[in-house]
Amino acid sequence: MAIYFYSVREEPYGCFSNFSRHGFKLDDVWWPTSEHYFQAQKFAGTSHEEAVRKADSPKLAAEMGRDRRRPLRSDWERIKDDVMRRAVLRKFESHDDLRALLLATGDEEIIEDAPGDYYWGIGRDGSGKNMLGLILMEVRSLLRQ
């Protein structure tokens, strides 16, 4: 049976969302959420990176990351999956309870049921790529080893 998640308020898998408030240290810096890290990397090495890291909420970090008045790094489309992989892995390495929950999903398919996102989620009609779900399953495999 597939495991669906989307909102951080949904138990027990809401913590799989990048908006869940499970911070971690990566690159010698504290990131409040994996969303903060992911969005900030769109501007790595600029003042925008730090501004996004300091955003008051993951929702605000996402809005800042999507603001095209900020200079998106030229290689973003090529590296965004690896950036997400790095953030998700670090999040689950940093929190024993989250790691245990992810490992307890066994071999079930994990699906981000995001109606408006056809890349990271499955979109409204289920035809999306589900890249976040795929990355969570990859991380699960890595953590088993």
- How sure is the predictor about 60, in pLDDT bands with cuts at 50, 70 and 90? very high
Separation between Cα atoms, residue 60 and residue 128, nearest integer Å: 24
DSSP-derived letter for residue 20 is S
Q: Which residues, at least 6 apart from 116, have a Cβ–Cβ distance to it below 8 Å?
A: 123, 124
Tokens linked to 80: 């965004």
pLDDT value at residue 63: 98
Separation between Cα atoms, residue 73 and residue 135, nearest integer Å: 22
Residue 68 near residue 119, CB atoms below 8 Å? no
- Decide if domain 3-144 falls under CATH 1.20.140.10: no
Separation between Cα atoms, residue 36 and residue 106, nearest integer Å: 28
Closest CA to 128 of 114, 120, 118: 118
pLDDT value at residue 114: 97
The pTM (predicted TM-score) of the whole model is: 0.96
* 96-119 confidence digits (pLDDT tens): 999 999 999 999 999 999 999 999
Domain spans of the chain?
3-144
Separation between Cα atoms, residue 68 and residue 125, nearest integer Å: 27
